Amino acid sequence: MQLNSIKPGSGAKHAKRRVGRGIGSGLGKTAGRGHKGQKSRAGGFHKVGFEGGQMPLQRRLPKRGFKSAQLKYNGEITLADLQRLAADEVDLLTLKAAGLVRDLVRNVKVVKSGELSKKVVLKGIGATAGAKAAIEAAGGSLA
């Protein structure tokens, strides 16, 4: 094999479709666009979801639900996360440094998931009723 004899595999390259170039091409006259109508004309096309003037589906269906913009500022950790954490006193900065909550988070809550056997003191962090009971049972407290 020489560099001057290399060529692409068969079927890898094909000629671009040339429309409107006469009967013999198979795509002459209307150039594969059919007869008349908006879709046959240059620049004539409608937006996504357009249904010919009929009220489109996304407007016929009722609006539903709400997603609060404040959700991104709330975080939650589990009892299992607290167990793995090396610190005895836990606050928001400790959790951010450990990578347990995102940097945007302002409010953190502990949820009861997993086991906690070591004493942990929480500062400025909330807890659910079950998590609070588990923390206090392990000898810890919420400040």
Beta strands in 1-143 (DSSP E): 74-78, 89-90, 107-111, 121-122, 126-127, 141-142
- What tens digit of pLDDT does each residue of 71-103 get? 999 999 999 999 999 889 999 999 999 999 999
- Largest Cα span, the chain: 89
The SS3 call for residue 95 is helix
Confidence of residue 44 (pLDDT cuts 50, 70, 90): confident
- Cβ atoms within 10 A of the Cβ of 128, count? 14
Evaluate if pTM is beyond 0.85: no
- What tens digit of pLDDT does each residue of 95-131 get? 999 999 999 999 999 999 999 999 999 999 999 999 9
Q: How far is residue 50's CA from residue 65's CA, in Å, rounded to a whole number?
A: 24
Where do the domains of the chain lie? 72-142
Specify the DSSP class assigned to residue 75.
Answer: E
Is the domain defined by 72-142 classed in CATH 3.100.10.10? yes
- Cβ atoms within 10 A of the Cβ of 137, count? 10
Q: How far is residue 124's CA from residue 110's CA, in Å, rounded to a whole number?
A: 11
Compute the C-alpha angle 71/82/70, nearest 5°: 5
pLDDT of residue 131: 95
User: Which two tokens mark 72?
Assistant: 């991104």
The dihedrals phi and psi of 45, each to the nearest 5 degrees, come to -155, 155
**In this structure, are residues 111 and 91 in contact, taking their beta carbons and an 8 Å threshold?**
no
